[in-house]
Amino acid sequence: MRKTYQTLAKQYGLKWQGRRYDPKQWESADVANQCLSAATACLYGITEAAILAAGYAPAIGFLHTGKPLSFVYDIADIVKFETVVPAAFRIAAKHPPMPEREVRIACRDAFKQTRLLQRIIPMIEEVLAAGEIEPPPPPADAVPPAIPEPPSVGDSGHRSQ
């Protein structure tokens, strides 16, 4: 992972001295680390939502262990370098006045371009299937959504399929 961070930082023209930040002293981190923190927070949020929606426990990790979000970190690491890390470094290279806001927008766009929201639950099930773990069956009293998904308007400012 360290080498991938170095490679991407170089690609975006950033001086990279490693992943260094203190959540209690946000301003002490350089812009690249602030952008990475904001970007991974976005990724962890949608990953945790998907894990919960699929009926799994966020704390039961395989690679990461002992944390309330261990499984979230495991799943997020699979897509981190195709989505949020490039977005964070691209924004950091611009030195915008509000990097956190710019990163959130860039992450939204990356999630849309990579169709991450449509891929994440099947990816979770694929990861678990590789370990020969059966997905839980739907509850007997489960019903389909009462309101069908409306057709997409297709522009980046709206949710779309």
Residue-range domains of the chain with CATH: 27-130 (1.20.120.920)
Q: 62 pLDDT band (50/70/90 cuts)?
A: confident
Hey, how many other C-beta atoms are within 10 angstroms of the C-beta on 51? 23
User: Coil, strand, or helix at residue 49?
Assistant: helix
- Torsion sign, CA atoms 95, 22, 5, 7: positive
For residue 21, pLDDT beyond 80: no
- pLDDT (tens digit, 9 = 90+) per residue, 93-129? 999 999 999 999 999 999 999 999 899 999 998 888 8
The count of C-alpha atoms lying within 13 angstroms of the C-alpha of 154, restricted to the half-sphere facing its C-beta, is 0
Q: In the predicted model, is pLDDT for residue 159 greater than 60?
A: no
- Name which of 7, 36, 50 is nearest 100 in CA terms: 36
> Has residue 74 got a pLDDT over 50?
yes
